[in-house]
Structure 1
Amino acid sequence: MPTAVEADLQKKAQSVPPGSFRHVVLSAAKRFKSTWAELGKLLVQVRDEAKFEEWGYESFEAYCLKELHIRKNTALKLTRSFSFLAKHEPPEVLKDEEFPQRAPAFEVVEVLADAADRGQLSPSEYRSLRDSIWNPEKPTNELKKEFTERFPRPAPEPPAEDVALRRLAQAARKLASELSGSRKVPKAIAERAAALADDVEELAASVTNG
């Protein structure tokens, strides 16, 4: 039995002319999981040619969400991953009729696209590992793990001092509130927690206000 999303995509596909580009994209969205590269390629065209405007949507993101049930982040990953392959592969590879079925796993290409965006993966490095990602016998999980370790994300920047203090103040206030609401916590402990929350909030405010 089709899901609600599949049923909605089917209904929309029936409402547009068969064979039209809009109908092609809707059909690809229904096959998304098995042929991500097909949908990624089409979405790049929808975005770059602003097709969504012709179809009554104010933005590419709104079109993806409302018509295809694809969230902004997913649409970004699809277009970025396909664009990565388009940049590193010969045109004839992408034009091959079997390309959507033969394309490397989305999870693997996404890791490589992220690495390329961070400047960690050069075109020559891609060529050196190309055979492994296009090999259908290579397990996707192993490849993803290998490349995630090979091209690690940089450690996140520590939060600014004022942001960190505001978070601590919120945590202190929450703890004080929970202690105050518990019948098993002595009043003296709850009062000390409330006083501590007051002090941390005051400190956070002084740092924020300079």
Structure 2
Amino acid sequence: MLSVAESDIQKKAQSVPPGTFRHTVLLAAKRFKSTWAELGKLLVQVRDEAQFEQWGYPSFEAYCLKELHIKKQTALKLTRSFSFLAKHEPPEELEAQEFPQKAPPFEVVEVLADAADRGQLSPSEYRSLRDSIWNEEKPANELKREFTERFPRPPPEPPPESLQVRKLAQMTRKLASELSGCRRVPSAIAERASALADDMEELSAGVTNA
């Protein structure tokens, strides 16, 4: 049974002239889980040539969401992953008829594309591991785990101190409110919590305005 998205795409495809570029993209979107590289390649062309404007959409993201049922983040991953292969593979490889089906697993290419964007993967390093990602014998989940460990994401930057203090002030006020509403908590404790919340809110205001 077709999903709602697949059904909508099929209906849209029936209303678009067969053989047109737009029709080709719709069909690729319907089957992209098995041939992600085909759709990634087409979406790069749709984006770079602003084809979506001819089809009545104000932006590439709106076209992907409304016509293909593909969220912005997914479209970004597809185009970035294909662009990564386009940068590192010879053109004849990507133009080969069998390319979409034999392309490396999407989740593996995505990890490498992210690493390249962060400057962790050079062209020479890609060439050294190319055979392993185009080798269908090794499971995709193993390759993904291997490359995720080899090219780890940097730890996220800590939030600004002003944001931390503001969150602490909110937490303190919430605690004070809950304490004051609990009959088993002595009023003296609730009052101290309320006073602490006042102090934290004053501190937060001072840090924010500094």
Instruction: State the shift of 1:178 in Å.
Output: 3.3
Report the counterpart of residue 141 of structure 1 in structure 2: 141
Displacement after TM superposition at 1:189 (Å): 3.2
Q: How does 1:12-51 map to 2 (within 5 A)?
A: 12-51=12-51
Which secondary structure does the structure 2 equivalent of 1:17 belong to?
coil
* Separation of aligned partners in 2, 1:81 and 1:106: 7
2:78 counterpart residue number: 78
Which residue does 1:179 correspond to in 2?
179
Q: What letter matches 2:9 in structure 1?
A: L
CA gap of 1:184–1:38, structure 2 versus 1, over 3 A, is farther
Cα deviations by residue, 1:160-204 (Å, 9 ceiling, x for unpaired): 111111121122223333334445544443333322222111101
Query: What CA distance in whole angstroms lies between the structure 2 residues aligned with 1:201 and 1:32?
Result: 51
Render the CA deviation track for 1:78-118: whole Å, top value 9, x for unaligned: 00000000000011110111111111111110010011011
1:9 aligns with 2:9: yes
Greater displacement, 43-52 / 18-27 = 18-27
Question: What code does the residue aligned with 1:194 have?
Answer: S
Equivalent pairs counted in the alignment come to 210
Q: State the partner residue of 1:157.
A: 157
Written as runs of structure 1 = structure 2, the 5 A alignment for 1:54-203 is 54-203=54-203
TM-score by length of 1: 0.95
* Deviation (angstroms), 1:131: 0.5
Distance 1:71 1:180 in 2: 45
- Superposition deviation, residue 8 in structure 1: 0.7
What one-letter code is carried by the residue in structure 1 that aligns with 2:204? A
TM-score of the two chains, using structure 2 as the length reference? 0.95
Question: Unmatched 5+ residue regions in structure 2?
Answer: none
Unpaired runs of 5+ in structure 1? none
Letter in 2 for 1:167: K
Q: In percent, how many aligned pairs have the same letter?
A: 81
Q: Distance in 2 between matches of 1:165 and 1:88?
A: 46
Q: What is the one-letter code of the residue matched to 2:201? A: E
